[in-house]
Amino acid sequence: MAAQPYAVEVDGVVKRFGSLRALDGATLRIRRGEVYGLLGPNGAGKTTLIRALVGLVIPDGGTVTVLGRRAPNLDVLARVGYMTQQAALYPDLSAEENVAFFAAINGAHEGVREALEFVELWDRRGSVVSSLSGGMRTRCSLACALAHKPDLLLLDEPTVGVDPLLRVQLWNRFQRMAHDGTSILVSSHVMDEAERCDRLGLIRFGRLLAEGTVAELKGQAGVDRLEDAFLKLAEAGGK
Amino acid sequence: MSGRRVAAITRRILQQFRRDRRTLGLLFGAPLIILGLLGYLLRGGGAVPAMGVVNLDDGPLGAAIASQLEQSKTASASGMSRAAAEAKLRSGELAGYVLLPSDFSSRAQQSRVISPEVHLEGSQPGLSQTILQAVSESFAALAGQAGGVRFAPQVTFLYGGQTFDTLDYFGAAFIGLVVFFLVFVITIVAFLRERGQGTLERLMASPLRRGEIVLGYMLGFTVLALVQAVEVLAFCLLVLHVHNAGNVGLIFVLEALMAIAAVNLGIFLSMFARTEFQAVQFIPLVILPQVLLSGIIFPISTEPGPLTVLSRVLPLTYAVEGMRNIMIKGADISWPSLQLDFGVVLGFCLLVILASAATLRRRIA
**CATH assignment of the domain containing B88:** 3.40.1710.10
In A, which residues are within 8 Å of B196 by CB distance? none
User: How many angstroms separate the Cα of A208 from the Cα of each of A31, A42, A233, B292?
Assistant: 16, 14, 10, 59
- Looking at the predicted structure, is the pLDDT value of residue B217 above 90? no
The mean pLDDT of B241-264, rounded to a whole number, is 89
Domain boundary among B110, B139, B157: B157
* B229 & B327 share domain: yes
- Smallest Cα–Cα separation from A206: which of A47, A18, A9, A25? A25
Please give the pLDDT value at position B48: 82
Task: Kindly list the residues from chain B whose CB atom is less than 8 angstroms away from the CB atom of residue A74.
Answer: 207, 209
Residue A103 has pLDDT above 90, yes or no: yes
Q: Is there a contact between B96 and B121 (Cβ–Cβ < 8 Å)?
A: yes
**A·B CB contacts under 8 A:** 49
B197 touches A at CB < 8 Å: yes
Q: Would the CB atoms of B198 and A74 count as touching at under 8 Å? A: no
Examine the pLDDT at A2 and tell me if it is beyond 70. no
pLDDT band at A113 (very low <50, low <70, confident <90, very high): very high
Amino acid at A25: G
pLDDT per position as a tens digit, B270-280: 888 877 778 88
Q: Is the domain of B135 the same as that of B175?
A: no
Pairwise CA distance, residues B354 & B32, whole Å? 32
Q: Do A89 and B197 touch (CB under 8 A)?
A: yes
Phi, psi (deg, nearest 5) at residue B255: -60, -45
- Give the pLDDT of residue A85: 85
- B180 domain residue, yes or no: yes
Residue A94: predicted pLDDT = 95
Rounded Cα gap, residues B274 and B192, in angstroms: 7
- Within this chain, do residues B88 and B183 fall inside the same structural domain, yes or no? no
Residues of chain A contacting B201 with CB distance shorter than 8 Å: 56, 84, 88
Q: Is B80 on the interface with A (CB under 8 A)?
A: no
> How confident is the model over A60-90, as pLDDT tens digits?
999 999 999 998 888 899 999 999 988 899 9
Asked if residue B329 belongs to a domain, the reply is yes
| Average pLDDT taken over every residue of chain A | 89
B211 in contact with chain A, both atoms CB, cutoff 8 A: no
Nearest residue to A86 via CA among B253, B100, B208, B202: B202
Do B331 and B194 lie in one domain? The reply is: yes
Average pLDDT over residues B149-169: 80
Within a domain: B277: yes
Top mean pLDDT of A5-19, B34-48, B195-209, B278-292 is at A5-19
Name the pairing type of β-strands A183-188 and A199-204: unpaired
In the predicted model, what is the mean pLDDT of chain B?
Answer: 84
Q: What is the DSSP string of B225-237?
A: HHHHHHHHHHIII
CA A111 to each of CA A82, B284, B288: distance values in angstroms, whole numbers, following the listed order: 16, 46, 49
Interface test with B, best of A49, A67, A77 (most B CBs within 10 A): A77
My answer on whether B180 and B311 are in the same domain is: yes
Question: B301 Cβ partners below 8 Å, 6+ apart?
Answer: B47, B49, B50, B95, B127, B308
Give, for B99, the enclosing helix (H) or strand (E): strand B96-100
CB contact at 8 A, B207 and A78: yes
CA distance A129 to B344: 43
Q: How far apart are CA B131 and CA B76, in angstroms?
A: 9
Q: Which residue has the higher pLDDT, B284 or B351?
A: B351
Instruction: Indicate the residue among B157, B187, B203 that finishes a domain.
Output: B157
Decide if A178 contacts A148 (C-beta within 8 A).
Answer: no
Q: Is B150 on the interface with A (CB under 8 A)?
A: no
Q: How far off is chain A from B200, nearest CA to CA, in Å?
A: 8
pLDDT at A237: 66
Tell me the pLDDT tens digit for each residue of B284-340.
Answer: 777 888 888 888 888 887 788 788 888 888 888 999 999 988 998 888 899 888 999
Asked which of A214-228, B126-140, B245-259 is least confident by mean pLDDT, the reply is B126-140
Count the domains in chain B.
2
**A102/B206 Cβ within 8 A:** yes
User: Would B21 be classed as within a structural domain?
Assistant: no
Quick one: B218 and B351 in the same domain? yes
**Angle at B217 (CA atoms; ends B211, B222), nearest 5 degrees:** 120
Q: E strands within chain A?
A: 6-17, 20-31, 35-39, 61-66, 69-70, 80-83, 152-156, 183-188, 199-204, 207-212
Contact B207 A107 (CB under 8 A): yes
In a domain, B249, yes or no: yes
How far apart are the CA of A14 and the nearest CA of chain B, in angstroms? 15
| Cα(B99)–Cα(B82) distance, integer angstroms | 8
What one-letter code names the amino acid at B127? L
The DSSP secondary-structure symbol of A128 reads B
Residue B214 lies inside a defined structural domain of this protein = yes
Closest in A54, A56, A89 to B199, CB measured: A89
Q: What is the DSSP string of A91-103?
A: TTSBHHHHHHHHH
> Do the chains contact at B197 and A82, CB–CB below 8 Å?
no
| B187 and B124 in a common domain | no
B146 and B208 share a domain? no
Are B145 and B105 in contact, with CB atoms under 8 Å apart? no
Q: Are residues B202 and B327 in the same domain?
A: yes
pLDDT tens-digit profile of A158-178?
887 778 888 888 888 889 899
A38-47 average pLDDT score? 89
Phi-psi region of A65 (alpha: psi -120 to 50; beta: other; left: phi over 0): beta
Q: What is the average pLDDT across A199-210? A: 91
In a domain, B11, yes or no: no
Would you say residue B32 lies in a domain? no
Handedness of CA A178, A183, A186, A191 (dihedral sign): positive
Mean pLDDT of B183-200: 86
Does residue A134 have a pLDDT over 50? Answer: yes
Do B337 and B189 share a structural domain?
A: yes
Intra-chain end-to-end CA distance of chain B, in Å: 48
Distance from CA of A73 to the nearest CA of B (A): 8
DSSP assignment of B140-176 equals HHHHTTTTT-EE--EEEESSS-TT--HHHHHHHHHHH
What pLDDT was estimated at residue B143? 66
Question: Does residue B346 share a domain with residue B316?
Answer: yes
Query: In the prediction, which pLDDT does A30 show?
Result: 95
Instruction: Tell me the ipTM for this assembly.
Output: 0.89
> Which residues from chain B sit within 8 angstroms of residue A144, using beta carbons?
202
Dist. CA B176–CA B153, nearest whole Å:
35
B221 shares a domain with B338 = yes
**Residue A215, burial from CB neighbour count under 10 angstroms (0-12, 13-18, 19+):** exposed
Nearest CB to A86: which of B198, B208, B365? B198
- Helix (H) or strand (E) segment spanning residue B120: strand B117-120
Instruction: Supply the pLDDT for residue B364.
Output: 41
Bridge partners for A70 per DSSP: A65
Mean per-residue pLDDT, B258-279: 85
Query: Residue A93 — left, alpha, or beta (φ > 0 → left; ψ -120 to 50 → alpha)?
Result: beta
Residues B320, B294 contacting (CB under 8 angstroms): yes
Q: Which of A18-27, A133-142, A146-155, B8-17 has the lowest mean pLDDT?
A: B8-17
Closest CA to B285 of B33, B18, B24, B20: B33
Give the pLDDT of residue A114.
93
- Residue numbers of the domain that contains B260: 166-364
Domain boundary among B136, B157, B178: B157
